[in-house]
Amino acid sequence: MNHNEQVSDAEREPTIRKVSERLASRFPAAPRHRIEGIVAEEYDSLDTGRIRIYIPTLVENSARSRLHRELNN
């Protein structure tokens, strides 16, 4: 395991938790486990990027779009 993987593991759970909390307040009708699942999927899809500072923002934007589509269909 290289240093980037260790940093990634240390950042993953707190990032998912924080983003999920913000989205839960924005989408109260969505089940919390669904929000966390979407956020985790979005995080994992972006986790290979080299510019890691933007990952939480990108994850939140993508997850928000997915939740909006799910809840408005």
Q: What is the DSSP letter of 54?
A: G
3-state secondary structure of 48: coil
Domain that holds residue 38: 3-71
The residues near 52 (Cβ < 8 Å, ≥ 6 apart) are 7, 8, 11
Please report, as a single letter, which amino acid is at residue 53: I
Percent of the chain scoring above 70 in pLDDT: 86
- Work out the pLDDT band at 69, boundaries 50, 70, 90: very high
| Measured distance CA(73)–CA(67) in Å, rounded | 10
Q: What predicted TM-score, i.e. pTM, was given to this entire model?
A: 0.77
* pLDDT of res. 53: 85
Q: Count structural domains, the chain.
A: 1
pLDDT higher than threshold 60 for residue 2: no
| Measured distance CA(73)–CA(62) in Å, rounded | 17
More confident residue, 8 or 42: 42
